[in-house]
Amino acid sequence: MLKIAYIRNTFPKYSETFILEELLYLQGMGHDLRIYSRWHDFSFMNDKIVQSGLLQFCRYEECRSPGAAAGLKTIAALAWKLLRSKEFRASFFISYFPKKNILQRKSEAEYEGQVRAPFVRACLIGFKLLYELLVCSYRFGNLSAARHHLSTKDEIFEPDHIHCPFLFPWDVVKTKIITTQYPWVPYTVTLRSKDIFAEVKDQRYGRIRESLIEHASQVFAISEYNKRILTPKFRIMRGMEVIHSSIDVGLFNPSWQQKSPNNSIVCVARLVHKKGLHILIDACAILREEGLLFKLSIVGDGPLKDDIDKQIRSLQLDNFVKAIGPRTQNEIVKILDQANVFVLPCLVAPDGDRDMLPNSIKEAMAMKLIVVTSDVSGIEELVLDGINGLLFLAGDSSSLANAMRRALVDVEFAKFAGENARATIVESFSIDSEGRKFEAALSGLSCV
C-alpha cells in the first residue's frame, strides 16, 4: 500500500470525472490518499464522492466564502442537528474531533486531581471548537468538508509517491513545494490539454513547469497525439507513457429502454470556445432549413451561456435547441440513454486550448450512441470515421450538418456504430484497463 499525495487545484470539480475515477481506483486498491487542493466545487456533487468518503482525505489550502446564503444554510443545518438529536450532541466532539477530544482532556486533568478548573477549560475548548466549525462551515458552504478539514488540518502525512494530474500554475507551485519537502519521494505528472498547450504568460511558472516535467520519475500523456506533439517540446528524462483518461463503463451502460422517437441529439460540454458550440448551433439552423425534425439538448454551463442563448434566439431555433444547464452524472446517464445522437464539435481555441479525447465522448460511446465530432487533436485514436462514429471538418458547420443528418437518418448505421463504440471504450478507455496501468506504474516507481 502506498501513501499517495495527489495534487489538484480544485477537487471535487463537476467536469473532472476522470480525476474522480482515478482516485477511486487507487482507493479501491488500498492506497492511502491525501488530495491537496486549493478549492472545491460542491455544486452537482457526484454521488461517488459521498459514498467513498473521499472528502475526508482532502486537504484544502484556503477557505473562500461561497456566499452568505450557502454559509448560513450550513450553519442552520448544524444548529438543527445539535438541537434535535441527543445522540448527535453526546458524540459531537468525540466522533468529529478525535484529535481534540475534550472529554479525554477532562479525564487527564481529573487524573491529576484537578477537577473544577480543568472542567471549565474543557468547556472553553468545546465552545472554541464549535466556533471553529461554524466559521469553517460558513467558509466552505459544506459541513462535511469543514468537519474533515478541522479534524485533520494538523495531520503530518509523509507520502511514498506524489502525483500531479494537471500542470496549471497552482498545481505546479504546490507540486514544487511538496517535492522539495520530500526530495527522495518519486513523483509523476500527466500532460493533458490547456495546462500544456495554452500560451504561457508567466515565465517563472513556465520554468518551474518545465523543470517538474524534466525531472519527473515518470511523465504520462493522455493520448498518442499528446505524446507525439509534446515529446519534442519538453526535455523528458525518463520517457512518456500513454494512459488515457477513463470512465466507469458499469455506470455508463445502456438500458433496454426504447430510444426517443423525436430525433433526440445531445451535447454534453462546458460552454467554452474550444467546444465549438456556435458551430453546432449553425449546423442546427442548416438542418432546420432542410425540414429535418430534431431536438438538441446542450448539457453544461460556462462563460459562453449568454452568447449561446442569444445565438439560439437570433436563429429562431427555440423549438429545436435548448441549453438545459448542468446535470449530475446520474442525470447525464439517463439523458444519454434516451438520446439518438451525440455531438461535440471541438476545435482549437485562439489561445491554443483544445480538447484531448473528451470524456463526454467516451461516456456517449459507452452508452452505444453514434458520436459526431470533429477531426481535431488526435480524435481518430478514439473515433474511427464510419466505424464507431462520424468525423467532420473542424469549424465547418456544413460538414457538421451533413454528418448529423447521416447519424439521424441512417438508423442501421447508427446502431452499427454504437455497438462498435462501446466495444472501443470497454477495451481501451475504461477505468478497469487504464486504472490498472496507472496503479502499476505508481507502484513500480515507488518500489525502485
Are residues 297 and 310 part of one domain? yes
pLDDT over threshold 50, residue 99: no
Q: Which amino acid is at 293?
A: L
Are residues 271 and 413 part of one domain? yes
**pLDDT tens, position by position, 287-335:** 999 999 999 999 999 999 999 999 999 999 999 999 999 998 999 999 9
* 106 Cβ neighbours under 8 A, 6+ residues apart: 118, 119, 122
| 141 Rama sector, left if φ>0, alpha if ψ -120 to 50, beta otherwise | left
For residue 46, the model assigns a pLDDT of 85
Determine phi and psi for 120, rounding to 5 degrees.
-65, -45
Q: Let me know if residue 146 belongs to a domain.
A: no
pTM of the shown model: 0.83
For residue 198, the model assigns a pLDDT of 75
For residue 416, the model assigns a pLDDT of 97
pLDDT over threshold 80, residue 111: no
Which of helix, strand or coil describes residue 226?
helix
The C-alpha atoms of residue 23 and residue 120 are separated, in whole angstroms, by: 44
Q: Let me know if residue 297 belongs to a domain.
A: yes
Q: Let me know if residue 277 belongs to a domain.
A: yes
Q: What b/e readout covers 411-420, taking b as 16+ CB neighbours within 10 angstroms?
A: eeebeebbeb
pLDDT over threshold 70, residue 90: no
**Residues spanned by the domain of 57:** 3-65+154-242
Q: Let me know if residue 306 belongs to a domain.
A: yes
pLDDT over threshold 90, residue 218: yes
Q: Let me know if residue 294 belongs to a domain.
A: yes
Which of helix, strand or coil describes residue 39?
strand
Are residues 391 and 325 part of one domain? yes
For residue 125, the model assigns a pLDDT of 67
- Quick one: what percent of the chain has pLDDT higher than 70? 84
Are residues 328 and 222 part of one domain? no
For residue 71, the model assigns a pLDDT of 62
The C-alpha atoms of residue 359 and residue 365 are separated, in whole angstroms, by: 10
| Interval 217-235 mean pLDDT | 92
Are residues 105 and 227 part of one domain? no
Lowest mean pLDDT among 53-57, 323-327, 336-340: 53-57
pLDDT over threshold 90, residue 121: no
Q: Let me know if residue 81 belongs to a domain.
A: yes
- For residue 361, what are the CA distances in angstroms to 12, 290, 445? 21, 27, 32
Are residues 193 and 60 part of one domain? yes
Q: Let me know if residue 166 belongs to a domain.
A: yes
- Residue where a domain stops, chosen among 242, 273, 294: 242
pLDDT over threshold 80, residue 76: no
Q: Where are the alpha helices (DSSP H) in 97-220?
A: 102-111, 116-140, 143-152, 169-181, 194-197, 203-215
Selection from 42-51, 129-138, 250-259, 271-280 with the highest mean pLDDT: 271-280
Are residues 160 and 124 part of one domain? no
Are residues 274 and 209 part of one domain? no
For residue 164, the model assigns a pLDDT of 97
The C-alpha atoms of residue 174 and residue 7 are separated, in whole angstroms, by: 7
Cell 473544577: give the residue.
116
Total domain count, the chain: 3
Within 10 Å of residue 29's Cβ, how many Cβ atoms?
16
Are residues 285 and 297 part of one domain? yes
Are residues 169 and 136 part of one domain? no
How high is the mean pLDDT of the chain?
86
| Interval 368-390 mean pLDDT | 94
Are residues 421 and 294 part of one domain? yes
